[in-house]
Structure 1
């Protein structure tokens, strides 16, 4: 039996998180990320915790422990609520570990972190419209589709 435990990521996890981000971009959007840029983006979170933090899921199988999933939490201030929304981002579960409750374990961990904290008013995430598997997972955990749509302008080209 393999146990899954969740912990805050450390700098020792940066390479694995970077691998996950590259795999996710390829799987979900067909994009190949510049590994140097994405790794620098991950390091930026560790250098400035005001940006957010990562958690990882570790599978303990006997004597071997392996990071099998990661996600990032970022913050959005809500003046309406005088509290932060926590955004779940960059979720990736290793393909061999999907549909085994890994994300649920991570989600439960995040919920536990928010208990008894008045400075967090909600947990949010966005998902690709076509990723119905992920949408069903989020719904099964009690999340609901919000009444907001997301708009953006890509400024990476200037």
Structure 2
């Protein structure tokens, strides 16, 4: 065997196949774990896993409330986006809110979030006025990532009243 052939055998090529798909109930635990990590990473907020799991399952069960799109590689969820709906009477169309956006650390900066958002844009087609999201003001990495995929800062404040 010549030297080049030996070197060729030393090369290890790993074929990875990534799927973008709607989440199912079997994905709920992983999505909930991702959401717990997301809250800690983005807002230094500790949220209850069991409450989060209940919320994830509720959304998956009731698609009229919204849905998740997940990126899956070799059977593992590596990214996710939750979409919820807001009716705009001004536009006569839905606005889709992107929430719980999470990509596993080792898959960040590889275009996974962009692919997820592109998939959601295709799903929305001409039936949705806009995709919107909110982000914590201190989450500079996420803000830059959203700008890179074409999102723009809007002139709104978010107000909240806990019940």
Q: TM-score scaled by structure 1?
A: 0.89
**DSSP-derived class of the 2:40 partner:** helix
**Contact 2:23/2:60, CA 8 A, preserved across alignment:** no
The one of 1, 6, 30 equivalent to 2:44 is: 30
Q: TM-score scaled by structure 2?
A: 0.87
CA RMSD of aligned residues (A): 1.2
**Contact 1:52/1:73, CA 8 A, preserved across alignment:** yes
**Contact 2:59/2:65, CA 8 A, preserved across alignment:** yes
**DSSP-derived class of the 2:145 partner:** helix
The one of 130, 145, 152 equivalent to 1:122 is: 130
The one of 15, 24, 28 equivalent to 1:14 is: 28
**Contact 1:4/1:105, CA 8 A, preserved across alignment:** no
Whether 1:85 and 2:95 are equivalent positions in the alignment is yes
Tell me how far 1:4 sits from its aligned partner. 2.6
- Which structure features the higher share of strand residues? 1
Note the alpha carbon deviations across 1:26-47, whole angstroms, 9 max, x for none: 1122222111111111111122
Note the alpha carbon deviations across 1:49-99, whole angstroms, 9 max, x for none: 111001100113xxxx21111110000110001111000001111111111
Tell me how far 1:134 sits from its aligned partner. 1.0
Moved over 4 A (4+): none
Structure 2 unaligned regions, length at least 5: 1-14
Q: How many residues align?
A: 149
